């Protein structure tokens, strides 16, 4: 069955929630998520908190994080700490992880969700544009994972979930920057799973397909030629929603996945298998502004 659970397009909590997993599957756990103030990261934070988890949401925009934390606490009754950091700056990561450990005394789960993206042809990308996406997505994921390892996971174990994408599987047009960045993160997932397994750390990637109500979709979605046909022609014939991604993350973080490490869980309704990726139709497109 592929009926989606209800969702809302804005960065607000769900109006109602029907439990599929045990409601206390993450009771007394603490999770730290980069990019937790918006989009997919916000919904992961909400679903984790609904399952008993205390949460740290971290990114650059302190105001948006504080607003998000208020909504999450009101909807779930769990604690949520909003901390500003830039995943490109190890000092800010260290300060945030220190604060989180001081507040909660432990961290069990790290979700690397921070990312940056836009549509741009390879020949139009500036050197700095390419580097910026690699810095945020790939190096940022390494930076936060390394700080977490040194500060806590090395001695206590933990779970790491890296949010990636399917863009690189078939070389998606206008996405060389994000595709290579996320491919490197999937490789990092396997390396760290191997190196840190004996520290009782599981490391997995979760690769969403096109997800409604997200900044990613606003930037990459409807203005591509044949977008609707691409979605309707995909195996499950629809966009995914944020709750469906959060359920994938919940599975990977939970004891249900106790023997799962070094993998990529693709949650895309089969989209990457059939997406047209038509180079002739997209050849005329150089770049789109990030904010449309």
Which residues form the interface with ligand HXC (CB under 6 A)? 115-118, 120, 126, 128-129, 132, 165, 167, 178, 210, 215-216, 219-220, 287-290
Shortest approach of ligand HXC to residue 133 CB, angstroms? 6
Give the one entry of ligand NAP, ligand HXC, none that residue 271 binds, where binding means its C-beta sits below a cut-off of 5 to 8 angstroms depending on kind: none
Single out the residue of 220, 231, 236, 232 nearest to residue 282, CA to CA.
220
Question: Order of strands across the sheet with 201-208?
Answer: 80-84, 54-59, 30-34, 109-112, 158-163, 201-208, 264-267
Instruction: Give the binding range for ligand NAP (CB under 6 A) out of 23-31, 119-127, 203-211, 281-289.
Output: 203-211
Residue 87 touching ligand NAP (CB under 6 A): yes
**∠ Cα 97 98 99 (to 5°):** 90
Q: Which of 115, 119, 133, 266 binds ligand NAP (CB under 6 A)?
A: 115
The C-alpha angle 156, 159, 162, rounded to 5 degrees, equals 140
CA dihedral 152, 92, 103, 192 (to 10 degrees): -20
Question: Rule CB under 6 A: which of 133-152 touch ligand NAP?
Answer: 136, 140
- Decide if residue 64 touches ligand NAP (CB under 6 A): yes
Contacted entry of ligand NAP, ligand HXC, none for residue 35, CB cut-off 5 to 8 Å set by kind: ligand NAP
Tokens 């990561």, residue located? 93
Question: What tokens were used for 191?
Answer: 């390396």
In the structure encoding, which two tokens stand for residue 135, read together?
């810095």
CB of 248 closer than 8 Å to CB of 269: no
**Token representation of residue 19:** 């439990």
User: Is the Cβ of residue 263 or residue 287 nearer to ligand HXC in the bound state?
Assistant: 287
40 binds, among ligand NAP, ligand HXC, none (CB under 5 to 8 A by kind): ligand NAP
Residue 121 interacts with, from ligand HXC, ligand NAP, none (CB under 5-8 Å by kind)? none
Tell me which residues in 218-247 interact with ligand NAP (CB under 6 A): none
**Residue in 34, 143, 168, 254 binding ligand NAP, rule: CB under 6 A:** 34
């Amino acid at each position: 069955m592929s009926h989606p659970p209800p969702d809302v397009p804005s960065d607000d909590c769900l109006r109602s929630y029907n439990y599929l997993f045990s409601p206390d599957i993450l009771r007394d756990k603490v999770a730290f998520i980069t990019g937790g103030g918006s989009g997919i990261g916000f919904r992961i934070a909400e679903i984790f908190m609904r399952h008993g988890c205390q949460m740290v949401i971290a990114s650059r925009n302190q105001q948006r994080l504080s607003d998000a934390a208020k909504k999450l606490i009101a909807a779930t009754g769990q604690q949520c700490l909003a901390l500003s950091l830039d995943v490109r700056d190890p000092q800010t990561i260290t300060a945030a992880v220190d604060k989180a450990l001081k507040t909660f005394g432990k961290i069990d789960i790290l979700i690397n969700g921070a990312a940056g993206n836009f549509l741009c042809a390879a020949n139009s990308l500036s050197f700095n544009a390419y580097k910026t996406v690699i810095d945020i997505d790939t190096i940022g994921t390494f930076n936060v994972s390394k700080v977490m390892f040194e500060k806590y996971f090395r001695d206590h174990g933990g779970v790491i979930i890296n949010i990636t994408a399917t863009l690189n599987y078939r070389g998606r047009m206008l996405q060389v920057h994000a595709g290579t960045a996320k491919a490197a993160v999937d490789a990092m997932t396997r390396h760290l799973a191997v190196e840190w397994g004996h520290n009782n750390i599981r490391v997995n990637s979760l690769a969403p397909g096109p997800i409604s109500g997200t900044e990613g979709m606003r930037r990459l979605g409807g203005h591509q030629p044949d977008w609707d046909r691409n979605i309707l022609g995909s195996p499950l014939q629809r966009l995914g929603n944020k709750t469906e991604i959060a359920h994938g993350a919940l599975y990977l973080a939970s004891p249900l996945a106790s023997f799962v490490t070094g993998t990529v869980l693709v949650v895309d309704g089969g989209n990457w298998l059939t997406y047209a990726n038509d180079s002739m139709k997209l050849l005329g497109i150089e770049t789109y502004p990030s904010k449309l």
